[in-house]
Amino acid sequence: MVIRDIREMQDNAADFRAAGKRIAVVPTMGYLHEGHSALIREAKNRADVVITTVFVNPTQFGPGEDFERYPRDLDHDVRIAKNAGAGIVFAPSTDAMYEPHFSSFVLVEKITSVLEGKSRPGHFRGVATVVAKLFHITQPHVAVFGQKDAQQVIVVRRMIRDLNFAVDLVVVPTVREKDGLALSSRNTYLSPQQRQEAVVLYTALSEAQKSIASGTVSSMELVEEMKGMITLHSSGVIDYVSVADAETLEELTALNGHPEILVSLAVRFGQTRLIDNILIERKESNH
Ligand code: PAF
């Protein structure tokens, strides 16, 4: 079932809750791929009703970003969502989500001023705002997000805690192509040459993971190693390569004392900006 009207979605959610059904939401911007299907399947394991939202959210795009050209195909999305187990696709219009004179935003501070937030000012204000709205509209018990957008997960987790949303956050590992490239709707923008080169992102992250496992504790060394690989094997222009504490996103110089580390990067291939990350659990070592 496709629902486009906000009030109708809210009424349906209220009915599900009244009938004792558990609701899971999978927020997306559409153009669904296997990565989204994995989120929807996970949601289906955890709830009676799965709502996939499809909404290209203008407030999380900066001026000059790809809002206009972001790929859209609702029929395709409905098919994929249904096959993966979603009972409802909620696809509101931009005008309904953002009425004239809209002026209420959710601002998660500190962790949004680094990495993606630094490169894309205002991005997480848009994300937090739309996710809060989607929570109010779909009334979920569970929300499923992908690890691919690592900082988004951290920001949404913070918002859920800070604003007392009664929503359990479930994070699903990144789904990758056979050669390691993380699935993303933006991969469709890549030329065949760029597509080949983009494999280096995952190779660089994997190498960093190996270096950490074999005892490297200097993040500068890791960052230099990753930057070197990307520059050598691709035409990609590095936006950032980061080694940070996975909760605070504080950029690290030494890894000791940090049980979970987020190694992440953003690289531009022509007009296309790709992100990827690996979360590394570190058993505290004696190095
Ligand atoms: O990850 C996305 O696709 C978007 O940022 C989200 C969470 C659907 C909010 O628009």
Residues forming the active site? 36
Q: Are residues 25 and 167 in the same domain?
A: yes
Q: Which residues of 54-67 are buried (b: 16+ CB within 10 A; e: fewer)?
A: bbbbebbbeeeebb
Q: Are residues 158 and 17 in the same domain?
A: yes
| SS3 label, residue 88 | strand
Q: Whose CA is nearest to atom 5 of ligand 1?
A: 127
- Residue 133 is inside which H or E element, if any? helix 123-138
Q: Are residues 25 and 69 in the same domain?
A: yes
Please tell me the distance between residue 28's alpha carbon and the centre of ligand 1 in angstroms.
5
> Has residue 139 been placed in a domain?
yes
Please tell me the distance between residue 181's alpha carbon and the centre of ligand 1 in angstroms.
19
> Has residue 63 been placed in a domain?
yes
Quick check: 57 and 29 in contact, CB under 8 A? yes
Number of domains, the chain: 2
Quick check: 70 and 27 in contact, CB under 8 A? no
Quick check: 200 and 230 in contact, CB under 8 A? yes
Q: Whose CA is nearest to atom 3 of ligand 1?
A: 28
Quick check: 276 and 182 in contact, CB under 8 A? yes
Quick check: 243 and 209 in contact, CB under 8 A? no
Final residue of a structural domain among 172, 205, 223? 172
pLDDT score of 287: 45
Q: Are residues 63 and 143 in the same domain?
A: yes
Please tell me the distance between residue 91's alpha carbon and the centre of ligand 1 in angstroms.
13
pLDDT in tens, 192-224: 999 999 999 999 999 999 999 999 889 999 999
Q: Are residues 131 and 204 in the same domain?
A: no
Nearest ligand 1 atom, CA 131: 9
To test ligand 1's pocket by mutation, which of 149, 170, 187, 277 has the most ligand atoms within 8 angstroms of CB?
A: 149
Q: Are residues 269 and 203 in the same domain?
A: yes
The pairs formed by 283-286 with CB atoms below 8 angstroms and a separation of 24 or more are 284/256, 284/257, 284/259, 285/215, 285/217, 285/256
Q: Are residues 30 and 93 in the same domain?
A: yes
Q: Are residues 164 and 80 in the same domain?
A: yes
Whether pTM exceeds 0.75: yes
Q: Whose CA is nearest to atom 7 of ligand 1?
A: 27
Dist CA 6 CA 99 (whole Å) = 12
> Has residue 82 been placed in a domain?
yes
Final residue of a structural domain among 112, 140, 172? 172
Please tell me the distance between residue 55's alpha carbon and the centre of ligand 1 in angstroms.
8
> Has residue 180 been placed in a domain?
no
Dist CA 130 CA 110 (whole Å) = 19
Nearest ligand 1 atom, CA 57: 10
How does residue 106 score in pLDDT terms, banded at 50, 70 and 90? very high
Final residue of a structural domain among 108, 143, 172? 172
> Has residue 285 been placed in a domain?
no
pLDDT in tens, 248-277: 999 999 999 999 999 999 999 999 999 999
> Has residue 165 been placed in a domain?
yes
> Has residue 284 been placed in a domain?
no
CB-CB neighbours of 98 under 10 Å: 16
Q: Are residues 33 and 162 in the same domain?
A: yes
For the chain, what is the mean pLDDT?
96
Residue 216, class by beta-carbon neighbours within 10 Å (0-12 exposed, 13-18 middle, 19+ buried)? Answer: middle
> Has residue 286 been placed in a domain?
no
Q: Are residues 213 and 245 in the same domain?
A: yes
Q: Which of 167, 157, 163 is nearest to 51 (CA)?
A: 167
pLDDT in tens, 37-71: 999 999 999 999 999 999 999 999 999 999 999 99
Range(s) of the domain holding residue 248: 185-279
- Ligand 1 cavity residues, CB under 6 Å: 27-29, 57, 60, 127, 130-131, 149, 152
**CATH at 135:** 3.40.50.620
Q: Are residues 53 and 90 in the same domain?
A: yes
Q: Are residues 75 and 126 in the same domain?
A: yes
